[in-house]
Amino acid sequence: MCLEEQRSFPLAQDSHIEVVSEWYDVHPINEQQILEKLEQDDVDTSQLSEDILQNYDQDHFGGVEANDELARLAGLDENCHLLDVCSGMGGPARYQAHNYGCRVTGIDLTESRVAGAIRLTEMVGLSDRVTFQCANALDNHFPDRSFDVVISQEAFCHIPKKSKLVNECVRVLKTGGRMAFTDIVKRDRMTDQARDRLQNEMMFTELETQAGYGRLLEREGCKVMEMQDVSEHWAEILVARLAMYRSLRSQTVAHFGAAHFEKWDNAYDHFVGLVKTGELGGCRFLARRN
């Protein structure tokens, strides 16, 4: 299925949304970087399988192990229709469909990432079970009670109006449906200066707390089943992730220029530092719609 066939929902024209979309247009992990790494490793992309691709396309904290943990929490199986909110390059969506047999719909703001996700999905022969659309997580246009499960990973930090966001995710869940997600959360010790820098450099906006997410989910008629603090584990992951981004320096400079690399590096180094000092944290949530 081609991009034009899958892109059916209009995007809201919001200045922050546009900035986030542009930020991800020049993200170090992108379709071209994935394909170049496959080529460097002498992978024949004409025979590419999801078992191979899943080692290259996981743009979130914790890789496939994090996918498995969310799948376990959400109880994924072949009977599930899953909505992946802010699906990016589509790595988790393909992984869940391939490894758990579910049907997956991914939505994302950034057209270049949606287009790349579609092409990568076609390459591994999963287009019959995994589709992607450009859509706004605050107004996704799906009918009420459409999905068995909603999943997202470290993306809500970029989205304003958290109450509206949670409402929209819960709205499309069937009765008894599960919402399993991870996100970056603020802590009391975070300064206004750090918050402003994160908004300007990392496009984080209106960061929520762990307890705040719990209240929002309950307000929308969900029972919060689990809230796991993963901050300590993420601090270790992020140090390695920063090193990984730095290992891509030559590719990033070639595609986007040295100034972009230095700007990204400074911003991400600051972000990692805030997690290490405890000004930021990470949480994993599971909620069930009543």
What is the per-residue pLDDT across 162-208, written as a single tens digit (0 to 9) for each? 999 999 999 999 999 999 999 999 998 899 999 999 999 999 999 99
* pLDDT for residue 119: 98
Q: Sign of the C-alpha dihedral, residues 274, 275, 279, 284? A: positive
CATH code at position 51 = 3.40.50.150
Q: What are phi and psi of 231, to 5 degrees?
A: -60, -45
Residue 195 belongs to a domain: no
Query: Which structural domain, as residue segments, surrounds residue 20?
Result: 3-182+204-230+283-289
Inside any domain, residue 147: yes
Count of alpha carbons within 13 angstroms of residue 166, beta-carbon side: 25
Among candidate residues 221, 205, 222, the one with its CA nearest the CA of residue 162: 205
Helix axes 91-100, 63-74, angle to 10 degrees: 60
Count of domains for the chain: 1
Is 278 a domain residue? no
φ and ψ at residue 264, rounded to 5 degrees: -65, -45
Question: What does the pLDDT profile of the chain (290 residues) look like in tens digits?
Answer: 333 334 333 344 456 778 898 899 999 999 999 999 999 999 999 999 999 999 999 999 999 999 999 999 999 999 999 999 999 999 999 999 999 999 999 999 999 999 999 999 999 999 999 999 999 999 999 999 999 999 999 999 999 999 999 999 999 999 999 999 999 999 988 999 999 999 999 999 999 999 999 999 999 999 999 999 999 999 999 999 999 999 999 999 999 999 999 999 999 999 999 999 999 999 999 999 99
AA letter at 100: Y
Whether residue 8 lies inside any domain: the answer is: yes
Token pair belonging to 148: 């068995």
Tell whether 242 is covered by a domain. no
Report the candidate in 70, 61, 68, 57 with the shortest Cα–Cα distance to residue 237.
61
